[in-house]
Structure 1
């Protein structure tokens, strides 16, 4: 599948595709860009993080072995010099680093640095959100699932050794031995989980190693300043193999959309993410209308139900909640940007299933499902709480859902606004995951495995619905290693439909990106991923008039 990116060039793009600008577009060598990351990240540790804003920091500062092409979505070399050599059984991937790579302080980047990144990913003491993605490497799961405080130290040491023996380094080569063939492994090599964190810097900085003094990377930017809860400042890394066109990129932390919109209009931001509340103002302003850019987002938004907490322990309650809100009305009347969804994988991406309509709006079916709920679940309906990231705009959206459930099910849902950083912290641990919550999943790479296995396999370290379905697990694990593309797609589709029918989440909508971009900003790519290396190296600004 070809995945098109949108490039903000000399004019506003009117559809999909790219615009490269004109020959007169010259990058200002001292150019600065200011964008909004909304809130203070919970962490920027590449082997711990999982939220989009966290990942965006890491991918500016570190370069993985591979990356995705912004135009095709295909995995292409980054720190690696070429595609990996894959053994005939599909279980060994060998990457060769480019010659002459260095960190921003001049220290050489070695294959052992990448091995250390993977060691941190699988180390149970790291407690990384994405540790599950490493389980395909021999020994990672056995080591990662140990309890560093309770398990026998000798057994932990043996498990660590077994894992490290499955990643071999020879000169510029690093080889990974996998438990099974994994058609998606090259894509995992393109994301942040194996970023070459510096062992000397992690040791020196300890729990604060992600502060600028020790957050030393091999990517296009240097984290030069972090004024907590206010901004992060990134400056060009002159030692990077393909220096960024921007001299400086500042990310501010403005949580309220209305405040960010005002900042854009006051030229304090160069890019702004448009929401429904902004459309009338934009449509009535000829200059703002010219600055609108649209493109793919790839994210799928949903209501999460904690299946370990009543009433959502009962499948009938989950189905009732999922089928009792009008997604089309939500998009038309409230969200306005995006498309209604009744399945997980976003439209336009591999595995999208437009024929899966089990969760479609059907009040009669929703009431019938609720009537079949157990007496215990029925009793728990009097105390349902929905947690969300506390902003004024989110409050408006969640009040709409609250009204739908009251009208259609007779259930009074209490809204629980939580500040952004705390909210992300709550969702990262199974024992703190709220009873129900509103969140979205955005792709890490273009493969169904990243959606179905990574998020909903019962062994996953990422999703905390508490849901376990043996048939689903069998299907996705089989598809993960299936070499035949058609069989693989069929197995993932079966799993996806089981997910819809068991309803650990209620699907809401597929996101679409709508931005305002200042005319002097060029090569600002809009893709479903948003963290390809070219996103950071190619963007530039012309001289501001």
Structure 2
């Protein structure tokens, strides 16, 4: 049910925004008094023209960014900022096409291994420095440096020598291993990239934030440059000019951006709010121009309402639960499958999430091409909900672990009313269907991520948005010792199929290998898929030009505000 009054937090933000004059629809103007010249008394005085109002977009980010350094970021609360403050060798159009970004389209060798990019003339950082090929080489090697501890370093393993360098444990070997990494600035404008194997989706990867450049001179002079707005340097359409930690952020149009004539917004102001109800109330009060995500009950009311401000579409993302395979009895396949079979996904999507989501009986979402057709549609349902089978498997699995009853355990989730409601639904389903006691624990998002990495949980809420449009962006998450394999699961046959899919030049062979790997994953059930996301958000009528790539948050780079 929608709250009828503002919470204290909502009231705080309302007052803050009121005092700063930052209401949506209000335009910042500068009025200049009429000039008076005492030497020309009696003459008609002329008024100066009032400067045009600034175009300011107001929206919410649902978490404090964990890292706004492209090489260290790992979540959508980070990437939403990075995608507008930085630009890679390539970028994506509103239609989803990959086009030139900082560089011209690459020259590719006949064997598909060598890619040569030429940085375009006039590319600059927000501080005026030229963007160079060396910046790209430096940034990619920064990600791979073991001392950087980048969670996303594996996304660069497509480069020759990258995995050897990143996985090295001998500091003395770092220089020679770094030299062998397949990225080299031939000169100031030419970047040569050498891949381990031909990679069909590598061009897509060059638009992903881990592949963004960082300013080498800035990084070397101040390793903490990305922690505060006053030292922040980027190369995208916007620059970060204000960061009140855990409160708000401000982006301003980057006057050094090469395509600045296409950028219509002067400022983008974020408030950082982890409560969907508060953000929704601020949108209703015209304090936000765009709100995402929405409270689940609001989504349910809007899905079929015909409201012109409501937008919804597919999202290349899956909502799931990690089962910590290192914790007994979740190490037992039968116990894991029993829990999954006892969850009613249709009830969750229709009565809890309420955003038109599709129940998930596999892990790869719709929207990715197979050799023919859609990969997910070709996969179909790899398991079914079955209470009788769930009870049978749970009994057998517990007996194998020397247990009579599943001990009480907790579901860990990051603070969000939506995640809480889903966790409560799962909690009740497991209690009712399997007589299992489940506790709930909510923490800040970054705390959740840290605890998952440390293995300090039993079951945790998770979600994954595709980094690029290929099944591999999901399938390589659960390889043995993978950096995002928070379930701590390992299967040699799974690893073998992922290896085939990553190295094969035959499209059918690589897609078949990923289908086989997905079948193994769902048979072993180290994670419990719940649903495939949609992307419901609200945007005011005066805001034009918002677009939503299938694997990105709503993009405002080309947005405009009607005045």
Q: Which residue number in structure 2 is paired with residue 126 of structure 1? A: 148
Alpha-carbon displacement from aligned partner over 1:76-135 (angstroms, at most 9, x marks no partner): 2211112x2122222111111111100111110000000111011100111111101111
Instruction: Please give the alpha-carbon distance, in whole angstroms, between the structure 2 residues aligned to 1:184 and 1:91.
Output: 13
1:36 pairs, out of 44, 60, 65, with 60
In 2, Cα distance between equivalents of 1:404 and 1:221: 46
Give me the whole-angstrom Cα distance separating, in 1, the residues matched to 2:456 and 2:157: 23
CA pair 435-88 structure 1, distance change in 2 beyond 3 A: same
1:517 aligns with 2:536: no
Uncovered stretches (5+) of structure 2, i.e. residues with no partner: 1-51, 370-374
Counterparts of 1:62-81 in structure 2 under 5 Å?
62-71=86-95, 73-81=96-104
Q: Which residue pairs with 1:326 in the alignment?
A: 344
Distance in 2, matches of 1:207 and 1:426, equals: 24
Kindly report which structure 2 residues correspond to 1:182-221, keeping only aligned pairs within 5 A, or say none. Answer: 182-207=199-224, 209-221=226-238
**For residue 395 of structure 1, what is the aligned residue in structure 2?**
420
1:267 aligns with 2:255: no
Q: Report the alpha carbon displacement of residue 35 of structure 1 after superposing the two structures with TM.
A: 1.0
CA positional deviation for 1:170:
2.8
User: In angstroms, what is the RMSD of aligned CA positions?
Assistant: 2.1
SS at match of 1:352: helix
Partner of 1:136: 158
**Equivalences for 1:94-493 in 2 at 5 Å?**
94-147=116-169, 151=170, 153-163=171-181, 166-207=183-224, 209-243=226-260, 244-273=263-292, 274-279=294-299, 289-337=307-355, 338-350=357-369, 351-353=375-377, 355-375=379-399, 376=401, 378=403, 381-427=406-452, 429=453, 431-453=454-476, 455-493=477-515
What does residue 12 of structure 1 align with? none
Are 2:324 and 2:486, in contact at CA under 8 Å, matched by a contact in 1?
yes
Question: Is contact 1:66-1:75 (8 Å) kept?
Answer: yes
Alpha carbons 2:239, 2:253 under 8 Å: kept:
yes
CA offsets 1:20-39 (integer angstroms, 9 cap, x no match)? xxxxxxxx872111111112
Q: 1:531 to 1:169 in 2, by over 3 A?
A: farther
**Of 196-205 and 407-416, the range deviating more from structure 2:** 196-205
**CA displacement at 1:539 relative to structure 2:** 1.0
Calculate the TM-score normalised by the size of structure 2: 0.85
Equivalent position of 1:503 in the other structure = 525
Q: CA offsets per residue over residues 225-247 of structure 1, 9 Å max, x none?
A: 00000011000001101122110
| Residues 242-272 of structure 1: per-residue CA shift (max 9 Å, x gap) | 1221100111111111111110001111112
Q: Any idea what SS the aligned residue of 2:407 has?
A: helix
State how far apart, in whole Å, the 2-side matches of 1:166 and 1:324 are: 49
Q: Distance in 1 between matches of 2:383 and 2:125?
A: 49
Q: CA deviation at 1:160?
A: 2.2
Counterpart of 2:116 in 1: which secondary structure?
strand
Offset at residue 346 of structure 1 (A): 1.0
Spell out, residue by residue over 1:157-196, the C-alpha distance to the aligned partner (whole angstroms, 9 max, x if none): 3222222x65342341111112222222222211111211
The answer as to whether partners of 2:64 and 2:246 remain within 8 angstroms in 1 is yes
Equivalent in 74, 82, 93 of residue 50 of structure 1: 74
CA offsets, 1:24-79, max 9 Å, x none? xxxx87211111111211112211111111111112111101123331x3432211
CA contact (8 A) 1:359 1:506 kept: no
Instruction: Determine the C-alpha separation between the residues in 2 that align with 1:292 and 1:359.
Output: 34
- Distance in 1, Cα, partners of 2:77 & 2:108: 33
Distance in 2 (CA, whole Å) between partners of 1:63 and 1:409 is 50
Determine if contact 1:305/1:437 at 8 Å carries over to the other structure. yes
User: Residue 210 of structure 1: CA displacement?
Assistant: 3.2
Aligned-residue offset at 1:379: 6.2
How far off is 1:446 after superposition?
Answer: 0.6
* Residue pair 1:520, 1:542 contacting (<8 A) in 2 also: yes
Distance 1:283 1:323, change over 3 A: closer
Instruction: Pick the aligned partner of 2:107 from 74, 77, 85.
Output: 85
Question: 1 or 2 for the larger relative contact order (CA 8 Å, sep ≥6)?
Answer: 1
C-alpha distance 77-377 of structure 1, shift in aligned 2 (>3 A): farther
Deviation at 1:200, TM superposition (A): 2.3
Does the C-alpha gap of structure 1 residues 391 and 521 become closer, same or farther in structure 2, counting only changes over 3 Å? same
- Larger Rg belongs to: 2
Give the number of equivalent residue pairs. Answer: 502
Give the Cα–Cα distance (whole angstroms) in 1 for the partners of residues 166 and 231 of structure 2.
Answer: 26
Q: Relative to structure 1, is the Cα distance of residues 180 and 433 closer, same or farther in structure 2, using a 3 angstrom cutoff? A: farther
SS at match of 2:172: helix
In structure 2, C-alpha distance between the alignment counterparts of 1:143 and 1:46, rounded to whole Å:
19
* Structure 1 position 434, deviation (Å): 2.2
Secondary structure of the 1:56 match is: helix
Q: Distance in 1 between matches of 2:364 and 2:177?
A: 35
Distance 1:112 1:405, change over 3 A: same
Structure 1 alignment gaps of length 5 or more = 1-27
Distance 2:436 2:360 in 1: 23
**Contact 1:317–1:377, Cα closer than 8 Å, also in 2:** no
Tell me the distance in 1 between the aligned counterparts of 2:296 and 2:432: 24
